Amino acid sequence: MRAFIFPGQGSQTVGMGQALAEANAGARAVFDEVDEALGQHLFRTMTQGPADDLLLTENAQPAIMANAIATLRVLEQEGGVRLADKTDYVAGHSLGEYTALCAAEALDLSTTARLLKLRGRAMQAAVPVGEGAMAALLGADVEKANAIATAAVQAIVDQGAWGGGELVCTVANDNDPSQVVISGHRPAIERAVALAKEMGAKRAVLLPVSAPFHCSLMQPAADAMAAALGEADLRSPLVPLYCNVEAVAVADPYAIKALLVRQVTGMVRWRESVLAMVEAGVTEFVEFGGKVLGPMVKRIAPDVTVTSVVTMDDIEALAKTL
């Protein structure tokens, strides 16, 4: 069995999509449709920068989606491949869930682009710049990360250094057995980074993000997405989606909408999702538009086959094996 998987934020880079668009009219059509849906020259930002503009959450999210969908479209056209015939499940990391749903024809491309643009704006606006932060804990599993987060909050509370309501510091992404991301108020995240090594993590690194994603501070963004998804035409995907917040396969459109709303504030259970897919019989994972999830999958399930598809050569090589 096979799963097609799609990366999340952080996989963007200036120049992305350019070679695909130059080599294939179908890929170029994807980028043109996204530009038209958003009313902006996103593809120009993707290919020419500046990097700071591409890094903006409201640009990075639809850009990463467009790049992955363009890669899939080239495979479908050049290789004569139908997604429903060649994969059993789809999954994506955070924004990658929207890409997965677009790939599986639950959402059309223009709707997906507009939803991700709104999602990016709403997530950025939910917390004033500088008040939130995220950090990667390396060499720590989710249990250890939870202990570090709890200790960081307790240390600040014990010092009487916080008087602004609930102090948030929680696991945001359970990526793989050796990498967990925490999110919340900046003082707590910084304290967690300081505590991490003495509590057993190999290393802790503050992430260059502009907001604390996947924690309760994102509730205003979740509310915005609930309203937008309530009006969106979301159909049953061609194959089931393994969702981030429950790590189970879903195909019902109403359930998927509710899970996408929960995902804004909830933990990305990527490690558990991969294990669940393996338990369901998946032995091959194909990542489209990036080389981020593949290494995570191999750390979670070393015996599976992982293919990352980014370039025309990658696409041609994959088409021969499907």
The pLDDT value given to residue 199: 95
Is there a contact between 246 and 259 (Cβ–Cβ < 8 Å)? yes
Distance CA 250, CA 89 (A): 10
The pLDDT value given to residue 208: 83
The pLDDT value given to residue 312: 92
Q: Is 287 exposed, middle or buried (0-12, 13-18, 19+ CB in 10 A)?
A: buried
Q: Are residues 237 and 99 in the same domain?
A: yes
State how many domains the chain has: 2
Length of the chain: 322
Q: Are residues 83 and 99 in the same domain?
A: yes
Q: Are residues 114 and 160 in the same domain?
A: no
Distance CA 96, CA 289 (A): 10
The domain boundary, picked from 162, 184, 209, lies at: 209
Question: Which CATH number goes with the domain that contains 226?
Answer: 3.40.366.10
| pLDDT average per 10 residues of sequence, the chain (322 residues) | 94 91 95 97 95 90 97 91 93 97 98 97 92 96 96 92 87 96 97 95 91 96 97 97 97 98 98 98 97 96 96 92 88
Those residues whose C-beta lies under 8 Å from the C-beta of residue 58, and which sit 6 or more positions away, are: 117, 120, 121, 124
Q: Are residues 56 and 162 in the same domain?
A: no
178 is catalytic: no
* Catalytic residue (one of 11, 93, 185, 214): 214
273 is catalytic: no
Could you list the residue range(s) of the whole structural domain that residue 270 is in?
2-125+217-321
The domain boundary, picked from 160, 176, 209, lies at: 209
Distance CA 269, CA 3 (A): 16
The pLDDT value given to residue 55: 86
The pLDDT value given to residue 182: 98
* Catalytic residue (one of 94, 183, 273, 308): 94
